[in-house]
Amino acid sequence: MVCESLQVDRQTDRQKRPQTLSSSCSRLSFPLSEHQHLRYNPLRGSWVLVSAHRMKRPWKGQMEKPPEEDIPRHDPTNPLCPGSRRANGEINPNYESTFLFDNDFPALQPDAPDPGAADHPLFQTRAARGVCKVMCFHPWSDITLPLMQVSEIKTVIDKWAELIEELGPKYPWVQIFENKGAMMGCSNPHPHCQVWASSFLPNEPHLADLNQKMHWSSRGEVMLVEYARQEAERKVRVVLENDSWLVVVPFWATWPFQTLLLPRRHVLRLPDLTSQERDALASVMKRLLTKYDNLFEISFPYSMGWHGAPTGPHLKEDMSHWQLHAHYYPPLLRSASVRKFMVGYEMLALEQRDLTPEQVCHTSGRRDLDTDT
């Protein structure tokens, strides 16, 4: 009957919905670290099963290999290095900062044909057009964002904002994302991210748009502005903070060491950030990623990406319900060699996690070896 109760809660109790589980957090009669329970993700409109007691089970499954450590600073055969030849025959410039180029193997192209009308409602297709770009953060292959200077990270942030301004007027969605480490499918050991701009609003931002709009309509507040304020007051899931930014392990986190990066003020998109806020963002990103690296004393793998208000035709619409934010999704669970697998129950029924978000903050707090330099 759990399924029925969740359905009723979603359909008939929208105003109370975000408060139901968070209020239970404060009840001493229910130790969250000992009993399984459900947590609501207001951005996706979905639930997560938390089973903290499972961390005690023995592990005899797959053990991951440690990340490669002996990476050459410059490899002429690496297509992302300065002066190297890429798959399309072009030779990279001898860049000294960031370097942006069109992806040689794009998932989206601007001139793709329209598939036409469907002949049956169960076999629908739509046109998919766009551009895919790659941005190198630094000319050295043996460096990552946490090892870069704050000023260098600020340059990356400025370039991200420029890309939103450049591609946003034409495309409804511009997704900036980084896959770090072979465990997350990164095929090249060189600091870089990807930028995919699409003619459509993808599934995840579509859900975020609907649920933030619903929250705005029902509560009269911007969901993630309210959420950041609540987390800043409660303190139990805060990983890092400064005057402009807050990093938390979200109450509804699915991945073990997942974090959410939030501005303290209401901001729609990356280009809306002030120079001071970009400086503060560069600092907090360096501190967060240093924390990740120090957690298991490896170059920590993750996928991350930015979500801001949709662009394209939406630039002319009131998108006040949106709040800029970044997601970090690291796969590791209990050590550098044991990862979380999203399989079985997670694929067929419901997302599930073992370690509670509160336990994660306690763990990272005990290993607080980060630096602002």
Q: Which of 190, 192, 215, 325 is catalytic?
A: 192
Q: Tell me the binding residues for UDP-alpha-D-glucose.
A: 54-57, 87, 103-104, 179, 185-187, 194, 340-341, 345-346, 352
**pLDDT-flagged residues of the chain (< 70):** 1-28, 55-69, 337, 363-373
Does the annotation count 192 as an active-site position?
A: yes
pLDDT tens-digit series, residues 194-206:
999 999 999 999 9
Tell me the fold of 2-64+202-366: HIT family, subunit A (3.30.428)
Residue 61, pLDDT score: 55
Whole-model pTM over 0.85: yes
Cα torsion 179, 181, 187, 189: sign = positive
pLDDT tens-digit series, residues 153-175:
999 999 999 999 999 999 999 99
Residue 189, pLDDT score: 87
Domain boundaries, the chain: 2-64+202-366
Residue 80, pLDDT score: 96
Residue 35, pLDDT score: 85
Count CB atoms within 10 A of the CB of residue 22: 16
Q: Tell me the binding residues.
A: 54-57, 87, 103-104, 179, 185-187, 194, 340-341, 345-346, 352
